[in-house]
Amino acid sequence: MAETVRNTATAMLKKKYPACAYVIRDLIGEGLTLFGGKPKLGKSVFALNVAIAVASGGDYLGREVRKGVCAYLSLENGERTTANRLQEMVGRFGDSVDTDNLLIENQWEERQPLQCLDRYLSENDDVTFVIVDTLMKFFSKIGTSYNDAYTQIEALRSISFAHEVPILVVDHMVKAESKNLVDMFSNSIGKPGAADNLMGLLYSKKYDAELHAMGRDVDTIIPLQKVPEYIFWEELKDTSEAKYAPILTYLKGKDGLFTPKDIARETGLDAVYCRKMLSRWSREKRLVENVRHGQYRSI
């Protein structure tokens, strides 16, 4: 009988582990990222923005991008629609755009999509990143039970790790709003349960949209603005607005009461600035409410 191997926490803490190999620093990391958004808000546009950014390198949303060959499975839009969008988007990068690094697939094997992706990555071993748009078109049918949905995402995630190629999967969100990004994905929470990281393109009363990201490698909220001339999503350029993005991250899913000093301590922002923002939002009846003097809670 083989001896049982004891793996102690002491031994684990002595090991040196490689840092996360981000596709987009502090936003899209290793494994599978499940990316959702409400219909017609612009999630497919965002996904194609990311594809061009990865193919061209440089930066996106103010974050460093690891340049590589990106395979974009545009399964909801036909070739003409994808080409028309690309034509306008590439102008954002000017001379630095690299469309040779971007592979576009508008057709996919419906009966054996996982086997097809596994074979595709084996035959195209220069691919460093995959975007699946959308999950429903890839699988054609998504399990509604937790176990079925979890199994489907886990199978896709396994291919990501087997080939060491991160995958971004575009999915739909439910109509109802929620403070918790996990609850907003349609069909079953089995899908976000199996994913390594989650991202959501959400409506905002203040901006064109907000990008929420959470998971094993990321935790952030990015205010977004549209750049109509390029059909592109960008981080809000107004630094006075973007300054309070750390406060939005703090508020995300926050339960119980908190004070401006609590936020200042966690974010490193000035306590007076935090107090002014909470007071303003409370008066506008959004994001927070003033429960009692100096104490707030998320709404």
For 77-133, write each residue's pLDDT tens digit. 889 999 999 998 988 888 889 999 999 999 898 889 999 999 999 999 999 999 999
Lowest mean pLDDT among 56-65, 170-179, 273-282: 170-179
- Per-residue pLDDT at 40 exceeds 70: yes
Q: How many distinct structural domains can be found in the chain?
A: 2
Clarify whether residues 117 and 257 are in a common domain.
no
pLDDT at position 239 is 53
User: Which pLDDT band holds residue 240 (cuts at 50, 70, 90)?
Assistant: low
Give the separation between CA 299 and CA 279, rounded to whole angstroms. 14
Q: Out of 207, 237, 267, pick the residue that ends a domain.
A: 237
- Domain match, 253 and 209 both: no
pLDDT in tens, 171-211: 988 766 666 777 778 767 788 889 999 999 988 877 888 89
Give the domain extent around 172: 19-237
**Averaged over 246-267, what is the pLDDT?**
87
* Mean pLDDT, residues 14-31: 91
pTM of the model: 0.78
**Do 142 and 74 fall within a single domain?**
yes
Are 133 and 262 members of one domain?
A: no
Is residue 267 in a domain?
Answer: yes
Instruction: For residue 263, give the CATH number of its domain.
Output: 1.10.10
Q: Is 8 part of any domain?
A: no
Residue 145 lies in a domain: yes
What does the pLDDT read at residue 176? 64
Average pLDDT score over the chain = 88
Angle, helix 146-163 to helix 113-123, in steps of 10 degrees: 10
165 touches 107 (CB < 8 A):
no
Q: Which tokens belong to 281?
A: 């939002």
Query: What average pLDDT does this structure show over 33-61?
Result: 92
Same domain, 65 and 159: yes
**Quick one: 256 and 156 in the same domain?**
no
Same domain membership, residue 109 and residue 79: yes
Please determine, for residue 245, whether its predicted confidence score (pLDDT) is greater than 90: no
Same domain, 180 and 272: no
Q: Are residues 61 and 126 in the same domain?
A: yes
